[in-house]
Structure 1
Amino acid sequence: MKTLLNDADSAGGPEAALSGETIRIRGGRPLRGRVEVKGAKNLVTKAMVAALLGDTPSTLRDVPDISDVKVVRSLLEVHGVRVESGAEEGTLHFDPSGAVAAHFEEIDAHAGASRIPILFCGPLLHLLGEALIPDLGGCRIGDRPINFHMDALRAFGAIVDKSYEGIRITAPDGLHGANIELPYPSVGATEQVLLTAVRAKGTTELRNAAIEPEIMDLIAVLQKMGAIISYEPNRVLLIEGVDSLRGYDHRAIFDRNEAASWACAALATDGDIFVGGARQQEMLTFLNVFRKAGGWFDVREDGIQFRRGDRLTPVVVETDVHPGFMTDWQQPLIVALTQAQGTSVVHETVYENRLGFTEALVQMGADIVVHPQGIDSPERRVPRRALEQAAVVTGPTPLHGAEVVVPDLRGGYSYVIAALAAQGESVVSNMGIIRRGYEKFFAKLDALGADFDVIG
């Protein structure tokens, strides 16, 4: 019997208050049923920030009820933006007409562990002439330096001053177009450039830009607002600055990370899950790997059905920036690969610490060996990076229950799925982190037939 607390599916409150939540899972039961995915966390939070750029109110639809959204909402409100929920579930309205500066202490108090304040810089510089950034948090999955962001802002003419409180950024002479080449196609740095360049004087050329679907959807938002942005070959974005932007009305792209997570849950638990709202086009790379690993899927007009085929087979995966295999997809996939017949290899090339979560899977009975310096192979297609690691997964190995602590968003989801696939009882603590990116998580588990209790 499941015991759900009254607020078990509310993402409200600071993330720190949520992080202590613990659940007890009784595994060995396939997940079967339907779940719905809303807008992508990696687009919604950035589109919310973009509302600061408009001279008129904006409306964003399909907004998930997750803690990251609540953090950005509170940051907008502390800067004087009026945010209201619409009549349609998942709709938010933003009125930036009363925008004001905020203090370090206020921003820090509302940001919590989020790194989103850094993306406020460009819009706030245009609107107020100043932006403040406290110490930044985020999932502890590796080095996520902000130098790409700071270098880009300096290229636009911003002055960056560091103090014990954080970083103060000003633009006494305004912001101007720039020629910028990123050393790596960073999603965050690309978003920073877009949100800053659209109202800078002149034209900005960004080379080696990220081109993830969420980036393209952010460009669509900005174009609706009146921005002029061209996508040219070889990861080049050309942004012609305009004097003013209006508000937008936009329905967010679906969350392909959540969709892939539920697909891997079906694979790991030998379940059958229909993911409503998932689309094939944005998941082509994932679907290829899913099929090679022994998964079966059926693309329908309103979503995609996922289940295990006759048997799971080992695969070799290399994470990469889009259109490659996303780093966010490898963690739940590794859980499923522990049940494949043979040896799989996952090359993680994006974040250097993203395989640390496998230690708990080994504790649960998995046979996983992490190679801290990665593995060379003549079949490799993704260029090697100095920070990369590799995980060698040998299966099938029965998983058994254990007590584990959620380390980060995707790793934590993977622990839950491993516990659901395992025999016996598991206790998973620090569950609040999962609420950063998964809406109504406990309710969805319940709908899929998971056997669990919320115990604290």
Structure 2
Amino acid sequence: MTSSLVVDGGSPLVGDIEVRGAKNLVSKAMVAVMLAEERCRLRGVPEISDVQIVSGLLELHGVVIDSTDRDGELVLDPTNVEQAHIADIDTHAGSSRVPVLLCGPLLHRLGEAFIPDLGGCRIGERPINYHLDVLRTFGAVVEKRQDGLRLTAPNGLHAADIHLPYPSVGATEQVLLTAVRAIGRTTLRGAAIEPEIMDLIAILQKMGAIISVQTDRVILIEGVDRLGGFDHLAIPDRIEAGSWACAALATRGDIYVRGAQQLPMMPFLNVFRRIGGKFEIDDDGIRFWHPGGTLNSIAIETDVHPGFMTDWQQPLVVALTQTAGLSIVHETVYENRLGFTDALVDAGAHIQTFRECLGGSPCRFGRANYQHSAVISGPTPLQAAEITVPDLRGGFSYVIAALAAQGRSTVHGIDLIHRGYERFSEKLDNLGAVYKLP
């Protein structure tokens, strides 16, 4: 992988690409393997660095992974799970936040777990206190050490009543991965209900878990003594599909996203249509294109599912620079996710950020000192620039901007993009992008 991409922009992206399993599901499904006592088979696995990182963490704990000669398929054998060395875990910590999700399964299997200092994209605080509070509620004992946190469960893990103050995806995953083998019946209120969460629940049910999704974000989990293996095709990545859709809009292109599904993308499709983009759905995917003429400005706010997801926001902002009038984006999920707009301004976009909650209802950042609303004035032609990737979705957005801009741009730090977008260069080739890897 190279660290920079030189792009000659100004041409429409036209062609056919494929999305496979969702990054936000596949890594959690791999963690769920640690709960099993039989081999597991996961299909639709994308070639992204996050999968490599989680594979490395699982192998450190004794999971045998076979991916030989099967494109997009992993066979994982967790029958001989063991405790990994702290130093080995720590070598992976700078690239992944998965170690915190391994805690519940490891406490069930081994009675002990370790969390090093955690990495991940710097888009917000994303504190692990939700996770630690959840684990303590189940009976875990957390011991602070110089190099991280050691967790034990001297009396085993027992069911709990948990009410999340915010429907955090990570905390919901933590509860599910811990409660399925805890003694008794767990009630989770305020749960996240993203499609990837539902797919994880489907996997756990295949393994033998008893999980009931109620109304009003309530999930009931009855603990079982043992979990078996699973065979599962991962839900396709709706974030990647939306990202390429925004690229079609920003470059006045026409992209068929094979594998994209309508149901998990409904909030995005509504916004895409309101802007003036066109799409067509068939059994194999969704075609997104710019119909010509003027695009419409819009006011949106990100939210947890079933709202407009935060990971769609950054690529959409690039497309909004090409709409007529003032668009408003109110980010309510991550407090620091609009910092990427500075580089777009350098490339000619007219974007201002504000601390106030604009264009929607007040959110939890409204009284804090965070620039979490943006006003985009357009259409503005984007010009070539030299920019550095700040985080995964912001990085893809910069590539979209470079492809839409007139002239030659250099995007530095594109290795980060490979965390969530597989075969990136191959897809750019399929769409007729003009670029080079220096």
**Shift >6 Å, 4+ stretches:** none
Q: CA deviation at 1:373?
A: 3.4
Please give the secondary structure, in 2, of the residue aligned with 1:89.
coil
TM-score by length of 2: 0.97
For residue 297 of structure 1, the aligned residue among 255, 267, 279 is 279
Query: Equivalent residue for 2:347?
Result: 364
* Aligned 1:237-316 pairs, distance under 5 A: 237-309=219-291, 310-316=293-299
Query: Equivalent residue for 1:437?
Result: 420
Q: CA deviation at 1:164?
A: 1.0
Query: Equivalent residue for 2:210?
Result: 228
> Which amino acid is the alignment partner of residue 269 of structure 2?
L
> Which amino acid is the alignment partner of residue 326 of structure 2?
T
Residue 349 (1) aligns with residue 332 (2)? yes
Uncovered stretches (5+) of structure 1, i.e. residues with no partner: 1-7, 9-17
> Which amino acid is the alignment partner of residue 266 of structure 1?
A
The separation in 2 between residues aligned to 1:28 and 1:382, in whole angstroms, is: 38
* Aligned 1:25-424 pairs, distance under 5 A: 25-309=7-291, 310-375=293-358, 377=359, 380-381=360-361, 383=363, 385-386=365-366, 389-424=372-407
The separation in 1 between residues aligned to 2:28 and 2:94, in whole angstroms, is: 17
The separation in 1 between residues aligned to 2:69 and 2:175, in whole angstroms, is: 33
Higher relative contact order, chain-length normalized (CA < 8 Å, sep 6+): 1
Please give the secondary structure, in 2, of the residue aligned with 1:343.
strand
Query: Equivalent residue for 1:5?
Result: none
Q: Aligned Cα RMSD in Å?
A: 1.1
The separation in 2 between residues aligned to 1:398 and 1:95, in whole angstroms, is: 53
Residues paired across the two proteins, number: 434
The separation in 2 between residues aligned to 1:403 and 1:76, in whole angstroms, is: 38
Q: CA deviation at 1:87?
A: 3.9
Q: CA deviation at 1:385?
A: 3.6
> Which amino acid is the alignment partner of residue 311 of structure 1?
T
Q: CA deviation at 1:127?
A: 0.3
The separation in 1 between residues aligned to 2:283 and 2:95, in whole angstroms, is: 37
> Which amino acid is the alignment partner of residue 434 of structure 1?
I
Kindly indicate whether the alpha-carbon contact (under 8 Å) linking 1:198 and 1:241 is maintained by their aligned counterparts in 2. yes
Kindly indicate whether the alpha-carbon contact (under 8 Å) linking 2:335 and 2:365 is maintained by their aligned counterparts in 1. no
The separation in 2 between residues aligned to 1:241 and 1:428, in whole angstroms, is: 48
The separation in 1 between residues aligned to 2:422 and 2:277, in whole angstroms, is: 25
The separation in 2 between residues aligned to 1:296 and 1:182, in whole angstroms, is: 38
Q: CA deviation at 1:294?
A: 1.1
Query: Equivalent residue for 1:12?
Result: none
The separation in 2 between residues aligned to 1:33 and 1:412, in whole angstroms, is: 21
Per-residue CA deviation, residues 304-325 of structure 1 (Å, 9 max, x unaligned), is 0000123211000100000000
The separation in 2 between residues aligned to 1:311 and 1:95, in whole angstroms, is: 54
Uncovered stretches (5+) of structure 2, i.e. residues with no partner: none
Q: CA deviation at 1:44?
A: 0.2
Instruction: Quote the sequence identity (%).
Output: 62
Please give the secondary structure, in 2, of the residue aligned with 1:410.
helix
Kindly indicate whether the alpha-carbon contact (under 8 Å) linking 1:263 and 1:307 is maintained by their aligned counterparts in 2. yes
> Which amino acid is the alignment partner of residue 81 of structure 1?
V
Kindly indicate whether the alpha-carbon contact (under 8 Å) linking 2:207 and 2:228 is maintained by their aligned counterparts in 1. yes
Kindly indicate whether the alpha-carbon contact (under 8 Å) linking 1:129 and 1:171 is maintained by their aligned counterparts in 2. yes
Per-residue CA deviation, residues 76-103 of structure 1 (Å, 9 max, x unaligned), is 0001110110543100011011111012
Kindly indicate whether the alpha-carbon contact (under 8 Å) linking 2:112 and 2:152 is maintained by their aligned counterparts in 1. yes
Kindly indicate whether the alpha-carbon contact (under 8 Å) linking 1:231 and 1:238 is maintained by their aligned counterparts in 2. yes
> Which amino acid is the alignment partner of residue 18 of structure 2?
E
Please give the secondary structure, in 2, of the residue aligned with 1:215.
helix
Kindly indicate whether the alpha-carbon contact (under 8 Å) linking 2:93 and 2:117 is maintained by their aligned counterparts in 1. no
Please give the secondary structure, in 2, of the residue aligned with 1:341.
strand
Kindly indicate whether the alpha-carbon contact (under 8 Å) linking 1:72 and 1:111 is maintained by their aligned counterparts in 2. no
TM-score by length of 1: 0.94
Q: CA deviation at 1:384?
A: 5.1
The separation in 2 between residues aligned to 1:138 and 1:374, in whole angstroms, is: 26
Kindly indicate whether the alpha-carbon contact (under 8 Å) linking 1:22 and 1:427 is maintained by their aligned counterparts in 2. yes
The separation in 1 between residues aligned to 2:377 and 2:364, in whole angstroms, is: 23
Q: CA deviation at 1:185?
A: 0.2
